[in-house]
Amino acid sequence: MFTGIIETLGTIQEIEREQNNLHITVETSITSELQIDQSVAHNGICLTVVAINNNSYTVTAIEETVLKTNIGNWSKGDQVNIERAMKLGDRLDGHIVQGHVDQVGHCIEVKETNGSWSYTFEYDASLNNLTIEKGSITVNGVSLTVVNSKKNQFSVAIIPYTYEHTNFQSFKAGTKVNLEFDVIGKYVAKLHANK
């Protein structure tokens, strides 16, 4: 379980393919605090630490993860948003995030707005995911508030701190992102659909 509050950025050091799996080695400032078998969110994808070596660690993404996320687009040198699982009893500063990506969306617009940034994203509405105005959304693991909610797109506003401490600064039109829709909203939508 995560909160969508990014701890640090990690840099991809190596990506190795083994059959349909990807072994991804990441260097971060928090590597020394990690343990093997620990869950860490990478751009919102919950992956398990399988090896640690000095300042870097390795995680493995299986075929299901590769197919459902933007992980197949990652390259050596890319920066990813890193968050460790929340501790029971900590403050929930973002919202409840599972680290299970619902689908990949893409950025269609970036606007600087006098000290902050506005990003608009589009996604495939046929998968029945939805946003609501002022509801929560996770984009590349970052907990954000939805504005301009539409059937297949939404916008978010980014403050300077988030811009500087996440990989949002590399986004441009066409950038593919991992989207995790609000888990409470998903349950409500499913209950409503089953009536």
Q: For the segment 56-91, what is each residue's pLDDT rounded down to a tens digit?
A: 999 999 999 999 999 999 999 999 999 999 888 777
Q: What is the mean pLDDT of residues 51-60?
A: 97
Looking from the CA of 50 toward its CB, the CA atoms found within 13 Å total 11
Measured distance CA(181)–CA(164) in Å, rounded: 24
Q: pLDDT digits over 18-42, tens only?
A: 999 999 999 999 999 999 999 999 9
Structure confidence at residue 121 (pLDDT): 98
Structure confidence at residue 123 (pLDDT): 97
Enumerate residues 6+ apart whose C-beta is below 8 A from 88. none
Asked if residue 177 has pLDDT above 90, the reply is yes
Q: What is the mean pLDDT of residues 112-130?
A: 93
- Whether the CA torsion 102, 58, 142, 169 is positive or negative: it is negative
Count CB neighbours of 123 within 10 A: 22
Q: pLDDT digits over 128-175, tens only?
A: 898 999 999 999 999 999 999 999 999 999 999 999 999 999 999 999
Structure confidence at residue 24 (pLDDT): 98
Structure confidence at residue 53 (pLDDT): 95
CB neighbour burial string for 42-75, b if at least 16 within 10 angstroms, e if fewer: bbbbbbebeeeeeebbbbbbeeebeebbbbeebe
Structure confidence at residue 137 (pLDDT): 97
Q: pLDDT digits over 4-16, tens only?
A: 999 999 999 999 9
SS3 192: helix
CB neighbour burial string for 164-174, b if at least 16 within 10 angstroms, e if fewer: eebbbeebeee
Structure confidence at residue 144 (pLDDT): 97
Structure confidence at residue 14 (pLDDT): 98
Q: What is the mean pLDDT of residues 112-128?
A: 94
The total number of residues shown for the chain amounts to 195
Structure confidence at residue 194 (pLDDT): 77
Give rounded-to-5 percent helix, strand, coil for the chain: 20, 40, 40
pTM of the predicted structure, to 2 decimals: 0.92
Partners of 151 in the β-ladder: none
